[in-house]
A and B are shown apart, each in its own frame.
Chain A
């Protein structure tokens, strides 16, 4: 004799992952490591932005990078002269998952970084649905793409807190308006901080790094308050 039973679950399919990401994020906060998840379409200039960021800071900040790549380690090689880098190869998968990030972390030499950058796979769709324990999600939009891209990838722009407009040195030669991109993005996410940069000349990098420092300080203040709470 068998019977039919309906089991009510009513739970997010990624509930377990989201819990794990939240735990990891708070461990990063306690350690003072501010985690930045960089997303974009392929070739938007995430690696160049990281190179420029690492050069700008030099030895003044301890930073590390986890580079997601489909198969090669070319991006990781470009960054290695500047900072500790670990490569996360997805073997063709279109996005990074938390388990890969955790594995990459174990291979990094130290753990007292002030900033950990995660360079996601070039894809404006899939990475939007995966929390990698980051404090900040930054979408990189290059001037060689359309300035109406935010509206085409709403989930990605809705879940990001900052937008870097890269390759601004090409603005005189391409049909891209920074204002139009900002307007388009603000219809999706009104609190998006925007940074026009040129990674090759270093233009805009100081403002971008200043923003990251401020964001990390805010995280430290919040983490400090939590610790006091636990201490009491």
Chain B
């Protein structure tokens, strides 16, 4: 159940982002999870519900996008989806394939409520961008 420790660091990151952007509440958190990430989406959701209780993330929408396991063949250049964890090219049966999607457990974006006054986007050098949607 290492989902607990991963979700804990996710929550910390979201709270930090919210604070840096003068947010008053977290509305939505979107993540993506691949089949080869080593985390189970159901357990991630459960961990989120338990751990977010009492934090600034409590009550926010937690959206999980499950991404497919995909690969590119180094021999025939085919790109394909892997139906199971057998890492073989569906075209030429080569085993020289590179995973192009499926490893990820990523935080995509966070939607926050912020005070109007603090509304001017400030470059913080944090490696992310902000986008106004309302």
Contacts and interface: CB of A to CB of B under 8 A. Distances in A.
A-B interaction: yes
B118 to A, nearest CB: 9
A210 B104 CA distance: 35
Contacts of A151: 85-86
A5 B133 contact: yes
B43 to A, nearest CB: 11
Given A5-B131, A130-B2, A13 B88 contact: no
B133 A4 contact: yes
Contacts of B9: 13-14, 16-17
Given A5-B133, A155-B36, A11 B127 contact: yes
B10 A2 contact: no
11 contacts: A3-B134, A4-B111, A5-B119, A6-B111, A8-B130, A9-B13, A9-B128, A14-B6, A17-B9, A155-B37, A186-B95
A70 B106 CA distance: 28
B19 to A, nearest CB: 12
The 7 nearest A-B residue pairs measured at CB: A154-B85, A1-B116, A129-B38, A126-B2, A4-B134, A190-B95, A155-B38
A18 to B, nearest CB: 11
Interface stretch (A93-101, A135-143, A197-205): A93-101
Interface in B79-134: 85-88, 95-96, 104-117, 119, 127-134
Nearest to A125: B38
Nearest to A191: B95
A14 B87 contact: no
Interface residues of B, number: 46
Dominant SS at the A interface?
Answer: mixed
B88 to A, nearest CB: 7
B58 interface: no
Given A3-B114, A3-B116, A12-B105, 12 more contacts: A4-B133, A6-B131, A13-B6, A14-B9, A17-B9, A126-B38, A129-B38, A151-B85, A154-B85, A158-B85, A158-B87, A190-B95
Contacts, number: 130
A71 B23 CA distance: 41
Interface of A: 1-14, 16-17, 93-95, 97, 125-126, 128-130, 151, 154-155, 158, 186-190
B27 interface: yes
Given A3-B132, A10-B108, A188 B87 contact: yes
Contacts of A9: 13, 17, 107-110, 128
A68 B63 CA distance: 34
Contacts of A16: 9
Contact of B128 (A8, A97, A128, A187): A8
A126 B104 CA distance: 15
Contacts of B31: 13
A154 B36 contact: yes
Interface in B32-84: 36-39
A155 B103 CA distance: 9
A130 B129 CA distance: 28
